[in-house]
Structure 1
């Protein structure tokens, strides 16, 4: 109970910094930009080009899958 004042000050300061960061991100449109970037990333990952690149980078993947099915 001796340092309760310090803990309260640290908690309030941390809450204020967090709130300021959230307000800054909302004000600058950060969440909208992240949403667009994530949707573009997911669209690319499901595209045929991305699947062809994945297959080309790991030619042993099908062999690994067959080996797991056999066990």
Structure 2
């Protein structure tokens, strides 16, 4: 129990740093920008072009399906 004050100081400083980071992100509109970017990403991922790219990048997809069926 010698170092309780030291751990308490670390906890307080860490909470202050984390709080200031959150405050900065809220004031700069970070969360609004991320929300818009995520919405755009999800809408693009549901397009036929994205599906074609995803299928083209996985040459083993048919092989994997057959292996699962035979197991």
Q: Provide the TM-score with structure 2 as the length reference.
A: 0.90
Q: Paired residue for 2:32?
A: 32
Q: Provide the TM-score with structure 1 as the length reference.
A: 0.90
Alpha-carbon distance in 2 for matches of 1:55, 1:48: 11
| 1:42 is the counterpart of 2:42 | yes
Alpha-carbon distance in 1 for matches of 2:21, 2:51: 38
Q: CA deviation at 1:47?
A: 1.0
Question: For each residue in 1:9-48, what CA deviation from the matched residue of structure 2 results, as whole angstroms up to 9, or x when unmatched?
Answer: 1000000000000000000000011111111111111110
Structure 1 gap segments, 5+ residues each:
none
Moved over 2 A (4+): none
Q: Paired residue for 1:14?
A: 14
Structure 2 gap segments, 5+ residues each:
none
Q: Aligned residue pairs: how many?
A: 71
